[in-house]
C-alpha cells in the first residue's frame, strides 16, 4: 500500500511483477531528482527490472494497493514441460504480459463463469503464483510448482484471478 506519506529512497534488488487492485496516485522521484506524478488504475499489471533506485510518495486519499512478486532466481529461459494435458482448462485466460521473466494471465468474471463449469485436469509447465480476489477485493495468493497437475486454479469465491508464470 502507498499511504499518504513519503517513503525513503530504496533500490529494487530483484525483478518484480504484480497487479494493482486498488487505484491511487503517487509521486515517483528518481535518484537523479526527477519527479513524476503517476495515476495507477486497478487491475494494471506491473513489471520492473532490478536495479531501479527511487523514492515514492503516496498522494491519494485512498491508498494505491498491489500484490507484488519478487523474482529472485536467475533467468531460466522459456523451457516448457512436455505433457499431454492442456496448460489451462478449456477456456484459456487472457494473456496480460509476457517477457523473459514472467508471463501473466488473467481470468475475469466472464472467463471465471465459463471455467468454473469445466473441471478438466491441466498442468503447469512453470512455477506460478496465483493471485485471486474475492467479492471484497481482498487479495489471496498461493504458489503452484512446475509440473503440478490439478483441476482448477480458481477458488469458487474468486471474482478475478491472475496467474504469474515465473520463467
Q: Is residue 2 part of a domain?
A: no
Q: How many angstroms separate the CA atoms of 162 and 66, rounded?
A: 12
- The domain tally of the chain equals 2
For residue 112, what are the domain limits? 94-166
Q: How many angstroms separate the CA atoms of 143 and 134, rounded?
A: 18
- Same-domain status, 98 and 65: no
Q: What is the pLDDT of residues 136-157, one digit of tens each?
A: 878 999 999 998 888 776 766 7
End-to-end CA distance of the chain: 26
- Same-domain status, 98 and 67: no
Spatial neighbors of 94 by CB under 8 A, at least 6 apart, are: 105, 106, 107, 108, 111
Q: For position 64, what pLDDT does the model report?
A: 98
| Domain final residue pick, 36, 71, 106 | 71
- Same-domain status, 64 and 103: no
Q: How many angstroms separate the CA atoms of 147 and 156, rounded?
A: 23
Q: How is residue 142 written as a grid cell?
A: 498461493
Q: How many angstroms separate the CA atoms of 17 and 102, rounded?
A: 8
| Domain final residue pick, 71, 86, 113 | 71
Q: Is residue 29 part of a domain?
A: yes
Q: How many angstroms separate the CA atoms of 143 and 90, rounded?
A: 22
Task: Assign residue 137 a region (left: φ > 0; alpha: ψ between -120 and 50; beta: otherwise).
Answer: left
Q: What is the pLDDT of residues 12-47, one digit of tens each?
A: 999 999 999 999 999 999 999 999 999 999 999 999
Q: What is the pLDDT of residues 72-124, one digit of tens each?
A: 988 776 566 667 777 776 567 889 999 999 999 998 766 665 555 556 788 88
Question: Residue holding cell 522521484?
Answer: 29
Q: How many angstroms separate the CA atoms of 158 and 93, rounded?
A: 14
Q: Is residue 89 part of a domain?
A: no
Question: Average pLDDT of the chain?
Answer: 88
Q: Is residue 82 part of a domain?
A: no
Q: Is residue 35 part of a domain?
A: yes
Q: Is residue 56 part of a domain?
A: yes
Q: How many angstroms separate the CA atoms of 27 and 82, rounded?
A: 45
Q: Is residue 138 part of a domain?
A: yes
Helix (H) or strand (E) holding 25, with range, is strand 24-30
Amino acid at each position: 500500500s502507498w499511504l499518504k506519506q513519503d517513503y525513503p529512497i530504496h533500490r529494487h534488488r530483484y525483478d518484480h511483477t504484480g497487479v494493482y487492485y486498488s487505484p491511487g496516485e503517487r509521486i515517483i522521484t528518481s535518484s537523479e531528482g526527477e519527479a513524476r506524478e503517476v495515476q495507477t488504475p486497478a487491475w494494471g499489471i506491473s513489471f520492473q527490472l532490478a536495479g531501479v533506485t527511487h523514492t515514492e510518495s503516496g498522494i491519494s486519499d485512498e491508498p494505491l494497493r498491489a500484490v507484488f512478486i519478487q523474482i529472485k532466481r536467475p533467468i531460466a529461459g522459456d523451457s516448457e514441460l512436455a505433457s499431454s494435458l492442456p496448460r489451462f482448462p478449456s477456456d484459456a485466460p487472457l494473456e496480460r504480459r509476457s517477457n523473459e521473466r514472467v508471463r501473466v494471465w488473467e481470468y475475469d468474471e466472464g472467463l471465471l463463469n465459463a471455467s468454473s463449469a469445466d473441471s478438466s485436469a491441466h498442468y503447469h509447465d512453470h512455477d506460478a503464483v496465483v493471485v485471486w480476489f474475492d467479492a471484497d477485493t481482498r487479495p489471496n495468493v498461493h504458489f503452484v510448482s512446475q509440473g503440478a497437475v490439478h483441476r482448477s486454479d480458481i477458488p469458487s469465491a474468486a471474482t478475478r484471478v491472475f496467474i504469474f508464470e515465473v520463467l
